[in-house]
Structure 1
Amino acid sequence: MEKIENPVAEAEVRWRSAAEGGRRSGNPTAPVYMATAGFVTDEDSEVDHGRVLSVLLQKTGELDEQRWTYLVGFLVPELALPHLRSGGVLQVLEGPRIVGTARITAVLGEPSGE
């Protein structure tokens, strides 16, 4: 996938280093990174692994080595919309491992469908 057709939000993502349990291969390099993610009340909260969603992240900028900006989409956006708010936190997962933390910086509105 080259781009997210109908992004629902913008976010700042902090990627965990391999030493912190993050991606051993480094930060994602695909135009659109696809993973699972769960909404949490704050960055230190546990993810309910029974309530994770498929997330799409399209890089738009780089703040520093570990923090990047992204457009955010979901494979089933209707499931995410009730939880989507500016300042909300998503834990980005690869399997059961948290590899990044996304803080929603802007909600872009209702999607028109992927």
Structure 2
Amino acid sequence: VTFQPDVMMAMGETARANLKSQTDTIANMMGGEEKRTYILFNDGLSDGDSGHDFSVFITTKESMMSFPAISAGQILNADSDYELTISSITVAMSTDPSDGDSWVTASNEGEGIWTAEGLTGLTDG
């Protein structure tokens, strides 16, 4: 069974960030190319054992109507000129990007959810 939730424009307090690939492209509506967009949605912040745990839902754009959650081993835009096989994914989070020791590698919770445990420097609310 594959579950692919409908992803729509963020409404209300659902924070999101868009990342553009520098080298990976997909077809655009005009027959040209555009940089592939990866979208990170805030999936929640909770108290953890050694700081806060923060989760994001990560999806990518295949076309105007296709935004699959990403996972290792996935093939995007299969059987097209824009096919991309995701061989591995590393998601890391930090509250102080200038401090190389503050980065926490997130774990894959499945269905596009990635969680970093033990982030410091965050407050509830």
Interval containing the TM-score (normalised by the shorter chain): 0.3 to 0.5
Alignment TM-score, normalising by the size of structure 2: 0.31
Larger Rg over CA atoms: 2
Higher RCO (Cα < 8 Å, 6 or more apart):
1
Q: Which has the higher helix share?
A: 1
